[in-house]
Chain A
Amino acid sequence: MNPRTQRIASLLALFLVVSISQVGIGFAAPETATAVNETPVPQVQNPAGILTTVGNKPITVNDAASVTGATILSGATIETPDGVGATVSLDPRGSLEIEQHTKLTLNFQEKHIKVVLLKGCVTLHTRKGTLGEIETSKDMVSKTDPKKDDVIRVCHPDSVMEASAVVAGPALDLLSMLGVIAAPAAAVVPVVLPGSNPSNSSPE
């Protein structure tokens, strides 16, 4: 084999090696891609609700204990125990105040808030352009006026008696929601002194 033929043979060999390795990579690539197989990160569809509970005490959302700061998604079932109320902020549509000992399902879309009240009492605030509905049974639906900022308070028929006792002291409830005071029934100095640096004891 003369030098010229040798060079051509070398170049041809190099070309073949590169080509074959490319084919190999071409085959290998999809395998690597499928091996990862991660579920795509879901997006928060519409602005989610923000939960605030009285005194940062837990309530149940979809049967799970939840406290202030929790994200409320449409379709949630919310239940408050005795002595603990809550608010779900649904900005920019409005907000829902949930009194103690109340159970409901909350659905919301862009311009619509619907509460199915199973027990207890709620107050629904809606901004102009949003329709709010509170259903206590199939044929009992209270609605807000979407032409203006509006508010309705509804109690489940079975809860009307106890509701009247709960109405008193809304400002106190609202303050408690901030975690500023320990409990609505707290006596002389019910102020929670926000501790300075956290200790290393039991994390809360």
Chain B
Amino acid sequence: MGRITSVDKNTSNGSTLRFVRGAGLFLILLFLIWGAGSAGFASLLSTAAARSGQLEAADAAVRLSPRDAHTHLIRGGVMQANGHLSAAVAAYSRAVSLRPEDYVLWLTLAHARELNGDKEGAIAAATQAVGLAPRYAKPHWQLGNLLIRAGRVDEGFSELRGAGASNPALLSAFIDLAWGLSGGNVQYVMQATEPRGPAAYSALAGYFKKRGLTTEAIAMFRSAGDAAEQERRTYLSELLAAKRFKDAHALWAIGHPRDPDAPPMFEPGFEQESDLDEPGFGWRSGDKAENLHLTLDAGDPNEGRLSLQVLFNGNSDPAQPIVSQLVSVQPRTHYQLGFAARTQEIVSGGLPGVVVVDSGSGGVLGQSGALPQTSGGWRDYTIDFTTPETSEAVQIRLQRGPCGSPCPIFGRLWLDKFSLRETSTRGAGVSIKPGVERSGTPG
């Protein structure tokens, strides 16, 4: 019996233990369910509060999940939206105390503190955010602006430089602020921005361009280098369209550095390949007709290794230059353009010739006249012309003479050895002489 009793006792003890264990597990699960449920419900309430702006929902979320920074953040947002800035600051402060490693919360607190008139408190909070996220732009941006509004301008710009370095999209706003604060002082803008990389130089170039400060913009594009090539090309097209050839030439020269003593024309002997579609002061093809082919020809150049061969094989627009180059010139100055040409069996109602046009007015300054149909070898030509009083650039064109439409052309033409030189001092003569054609020496 005693043995049986003993077994019963053990069974009873085991059952109790199992019950206690089960109850404990149940309580733990209940606690976890309650925790997860209340957190989830608090999140729902917070969302509802954020969407409706109802303080009751935000308060309920905080009561359900008082140790969740997010519920306090939402409550602060609702308070701020309703104009209760002090209460909002208190709610944000609570959120920050619950999650002090979150820079976003510090920034939110900083912003609310400043709106509530507490500049120093705002700066302190934003400084915390910068410490937590030193490589992020936003904390530097907010702290920088705060410091500037607090009158600590130098410190502020130092922070904004950090923001710009992290996020170049903010550079323009930063530059604009320096510009506005200094009343449009370029030197101060440079001092405040302390540009060090292509992104900063590019942003400054864009800003100065927008402000119409062409010289400064060009200088910044020069410093930006290839990183701003696309923007530089766009600006170049704009300057050319505005007929600001001097500025355009200075900008174009950034991508085409040349010896100061180099001849005024670019690639006068066609010795290197070039992009005929690039705007600027290099050779450009005007007529894109399929029946017109431009190639660099190594066979029998006039000088150097190559010459330009133009193959005519059908219709093309006589009004369009076949190939042209814009050349920077001085006003009221006599020039002589020289070139060599060779033609072979050209047949057309509108034969090609070289024309010099003032880029500002579009007026013809000089021309070679029609080139022969077959030259029998290279011939040298010169065109004398005088630039008008306001001239900044001339366009040297290979262009067909006028003829009806359609006006096909067949045959081959080679050009080489272009040169442009001043033949008299500036201002010596003001009359525009028609171009003088001088028959070249057969090559």
Contact = CB atoms under 8 A, between A and B. Distances in A.
A160 interface: no
A191 B53 contact: no
Interface in B183-238: 183, 185, 187-188, 191, 207, 210
Contact of A180 (B74, B148, B176): B74
A204 B167 contact: yes
B169 A178 contact: no
A189 interface: yes
B115 A68 contact: no
A91 B116 CA distance: 9
A195 B102 contact: yes
B142 A68 contact: yes
A44 B43 CA distance: 42
A20 to B, nearest CB: 37
A65 B172 contact: yes
B177 interface: yes
B47 to A, nearest CB: 5
Contact of A198 (B46, B111, B114, B133): B133
A11 to B, nearest CB: 49
Contacts of A178: 76-77, 80-81, 108, 111
A64 interface: yes
B327 interface: no
A43 B181 CA distance: 7
A197 to B, nearest CB: 5
A172 B53 contact: yes
Interface stretch (B149-157, B355-363, B408-416): B149-157
B56 interface: no
Per DSSP, chain B at the interface is helix
Given A43-B153, A174-B81, A203-B167, A198 B137 contact: no
B156 to A, nearest CB: 9
A25 interface: no
Contact of B132 (A64, A170, A197): A197
Give the interface residue-count category, chain A: 35 or more
B378 interface: no
Contacts of A68: 111, 142
Interface residues of B, number: 63
Nearest to B136: A203
B294 interface: no
Contacts of B176: 61-62, 64
B53 A175 contact: yes
Interface in A184-204: 188-191, 193-198, 200, 203-204
Contacts of A63: 172, 210
Contacts of A73: 177, 180-181
Contacts of A197: 101-102, 132
Contacts of B344: none
Contact of B135 (A89, A175, A194, A198): A198
B127 to A, nearest CB: 14
A52 B183 contact: no
Contacts of B137: 203-204
A44 B151 contact: yes
Contact of B102 (A50, A64, A194): A194
A52 to B, nearest CB: 7
Contacts of A203: 133, 135-137, 166-167
A58, A180, A189 interface centre (most CB from chain B within 10 Å): A180
A44 B76 CA distance: 30
Given A44-B148, A44-B151, A171-B52, A180 B180 contact: no
Given A63-B210, A175-B81, A195-B104, A180 B50 contact: yes
A60 to B, nearest CB: 9
Contacts of B182: 39, 42
Given A68-B111, A191-B74, A44 B135 contact: no
A8 interface: no
A116 interface: no
Contact of B101 (A76, A175, A196): A196
A170 B81 CA distance: 9
B180 A75 contact: yes
B67 interface: no
A71 B160 CA distance: 12
Given A64-B207, A68-B111, A191-B70, 11 more contacts: A39-B191, A43-B153, A44-B153, A67-B141, A171-B78, A178-B77, A189-B47, A197-B101, A197-B132, A198-B132, A203-B166
Shortest beta-carbon contacts, A-B, top 6: A171-B53, A64-B172, A174-B81, A194-B104, A69-B142, A180-B77
12 contacts: A50-B111, A62-B176, A68-B111, A70-B145, A70-B173, A171-B78, A175-B51, A178-B76, A178-B108, A180-B73, A191-B70, A203-B135
Interface of B: 43, 46-47, 50-53, 69-70, 73-74, 76-78, 80-82, 99, 101-105, 107-108, 111, 114-115, 117, 132-133, 135-138, 141-142, 145-146, 148-149, 151, 153-154, 166-167, 169-170, 172-173, 175-177, 180-183, 185, 187-188, 191, 207, 210
